[in-house]
A and B are shown apart, each in its own frame.
Chain A
Amino acid sequence: MSGEEFVPLSLTPLLIGTFAAIACALPGNFLVLRKQALIGDAISHVVLPGIVVAFLLTGAISTWPMMLGAAGAAIVAVVLIEAIRRLGQIEPGAAMGVVFTTMFAAGVLLLEQTDTSTVHLDVEHALYGNLESLIWLDATGWGSLLDVDALAGLPPELPRIALTLVGVSVFTWLFWRPLKISTFDEGFARTIGIRTGALSMALVITAAIAAVAAFDAVGSIIVIAMFICPPAAARMLTNRLEAQIVWSIVFATASAVSGYVLAGYGPLWLGGSDAVSAAGMIATMSGLILAAAAMFGPCRTRIGAHTSA
């Protein structure tokens, strides 16, 4: 495959997919360990009404209002879940289910009410993302990476997700020790003066930011899959958090790259003519990696459980 073809058509979607996968997997590690994995699921469902409301308010498809709308909806959802859980004394799973299904329903209704069929905004797009279409038309080959004019034509999703990835990494690096301690022993963390409530909130907000940025480019399926599958697979391989994080990054990258390649070229190899959904394929690959890890990983069972299965 020559650079003339690869750089404009595949390089940017590949990078965006990979960055999105890693940005979600990093907070995902902690969410999985804290048994909050479904926060990612809830966030990715409630982002839809946020985007629709932002569109209704501004009347235009522009990125920043939509990102703000999505982030706002995610925060509203987290607050609502907590309020319903406390006011109604309902277990967290059910409270989450009530909130995210209702907000999603409201989003679909708003979407049907406003005539958005003419603009690039629909439920399918929200679910699958548009990874395939994030191409870099100004590029002519590898040389374009050094060409300022061509670089200006990069799809804006790329710098955005790259920035998000940097932000998420910095958060993880800065709060590494308190995050680690409070994840494994919340009581101990509190006695040595870590504000676990605030830290937990910060983690959820970081996850929400990662989800919204990734959602914009790759749709909600990848977001949920990347929050959970690479960290879960990594957890089967090691008992050490540091190693788990590294493995989860490896798995996130592997599923993004293999999924994208298989979606774009797999059908051609099989004699088909059209590509399949890249987002769906990336999620599928992450699932296969998780399945392999769950069957063969050295640390796949709970300590003390039977390993015969």
Chain B
Amino acid sequence: MIWDALTLQLGYNATLVAVGATLLGVSAGVTGTFLFLRKRALVSDAISHATLPGVCLAFMVLVALGGDGRNLLGLLAGSAISAWVGLLCMNWLTRRTRLAEDAAIGAVLSVFFGFGIVLLTIIQTMGVGRQAGLEGFLLGSTAGMLWADAMIIAIGGAATLLLVLILRRPMTLVAFDPEYAATRGLPIHRIDLAMMGLVMAVTVVGLKIVGLILIVALLIIPAVTARFWSERSEHVVLLAGLAGGLAGYIGAAVSASAPNLPTGPIIVLVSFAFFVLSLFCAPKRGVLAAVLRHLRFQRRVHIRQGLLALAQGQKIYEPLTLRLLRRAGLVRPDGVATDTGKARAAKALRDEKRWEIVRADQAHEATAALYDGLRDIETVLTRDQIAEIDRQIGGPQGVPA
């Protein structure tokens, strides 16, 4: 069943939803990345909640004009206008008053959303039927998606992607270094507004599929996910688009495969699964990689300390050290050093002595800074330099048998 869904075998409507969700996921991931890099991820929360009054007002106007209140294009236009108004309010509060951005975001989202709910209750009492589709904007509803709806989403998504492509350089610059961007003469405020406009476009397009509360997830989660895998902004953008697209595609397929699996939440949960996977498994920035790094470091410290203890004829009590030394074939099970162990221990002790001289010598200042008690000295000094140091130490003296 799930395979049928993934290969688009579940019929016309499911295919339409899957394609729409994928497109939405790609454009949300790509656009959200810039928002995330600009450290304004939660602005999307305010924008999405601010769409509700616009949707309701558009419905009322459409009905008042004698049309069908559920015309998607009309509702989306209304939501875009009110989202834009919300965005301007938020911008004004942040720039012109002493309120911090987070308070402005929260104020706009709750007030606009509250006003939207007031309008929703008015619509419910207006006595016109057919408002059933309207509450779907809260949580998304894809069941009744039509060809025309899918086209709007596809065109909207494609247009957003194109704009991101055009604006990617200035947006990246502003995201990473606004001061430098300003000295280059870029209109930061306008680029920020353009970025927000793109976020608004994605939000409006995504209303139908995932609803206004969950669209925030599609803007934030893929970007955060992608950030684990790369340090280069263009790669992060591409990976976020990929993660968002895959989440949309798989989420839509899963939700089509069984009843009672609402599309929006499933897409968000799939997206979160990618996030968790990346949090743990990403190379370099992932948790697993950090744990491995830590274990490797711990192992080196223990072996080194064990070797120094062997060289000085001290008994080793630390069980982890003993186990590591035994596994490396440096000591026998009874704790006595093997031949390799003795050789390595002697070298470790000699290295310590060499380092001591390096660190005492002003001429080796740069090298001495690299001392961490673990590094083999031949990785930082040439053979000639080591030979020179060894001359100062002299031959073996009083080495125990």
Contact = CB atoms under 8 A, between A and B. Distances in A.
B214 A37 contact: no
Contacts of A272: 122, 125
Given A228-B107, A235-B98, A101 B269 contact: no
B371 interface: no
Contacts of B112: 287
A224 to B, nearest CB: 4
A229 interface: yes
Contacts of B109: 41, 224
Nearest to B113: A221
Interface string A29-67: 000100111101100010000000000000000000000
B116 to A, nearest CB: 7
A263 B122 CA distance: 10
Contact of A279 (B105, B114, B285): B114
Interface residues of A, number: 67
A93 B42 contact: yes
Contacts of B41: 91, 93-94, 97
A252 interface: no
Nearest to A36: B102
Contact of A283 (B100, B113, B217): B113
Contacts of A102: 217, 221, 268-269, 272
Contacts of A305: 98
A41 B45 contact: yes
A160 interface: no
B107 A290 contact: yes
Nearest to B96: A309
Interface string A255-292: 00000000100010000111111011111101100100
Contacts of B221: 97-98, 101-102
B121 A236 contact: no
B115 A283 contact: yes
B279 interface: yes
Given A229-B107, A277-B121, A284-B115, A87 B98 contact: no
B102 A38 contact: yes
Interface stretch (A146-154, A206-214, A295-303): A295-303
- Mostly, the A contact residues are helix
Contact of B214 (A104, A227, A263): A104
Given A102-B269, A281-B118, A112 B224 contact: no
A91 B117 contact: no
A97 B42 contact: yes
B85 to A, nearest CB: 12
Q: Which of A105, A274, A279, A290 has the most CB of B within 10 A?
A: A105
Interface string A216-240: 0000011011011100100110000
A38 B107 contact: no
Interface string B80-100: 000000000000110011111
A90 interface: yes
A229 B216 CA distance: 22
B98 A277 contact: no
A104 B92 CA distance: 29
Contact of B106 (A38, A123, A279): A38
A278 to B, nearest CB: 9
B237 to A, nearest CB: 15
A105 B217 contact: yes
A170 to B, nearest CB: 25
B249 interface: no
Interface of B: 36, 39-42, 44-45, 92-93, 96-100, 102-103, 105-107, 109-118, 120-122, 125, 135, 138-139, 213-214, 216-217, 220-221, 223-224, 227-228, 260-262, 264-266, 268-269, 272, 275, 279, 285, 287
Given A37-B106, A101-B221, 7 more contacts: A38-B102, A101-B220, A101-B268, A102-B272, A105-B265, A276-B125, A280-B118
Interface of A: 32, 35-38, 40-41, 45, 84, 87-91, 93-98, 101-102, 104-106, 108-109, 112-113, 123-124, 127-128, 221-222, 224-225, 227-229, 232, 235-236, 263, 267, 272-277, 279-284, 286-287, 290, 294, 299-302, 305, 309
6 contacts: A37-B105, A38-B106, A41-B106, A89-B285, A105-B264, A294-B93
The 4 closest A-B pairs by CB, nearest first: A283-B114, A287-B111, A280-B117, A101-B217
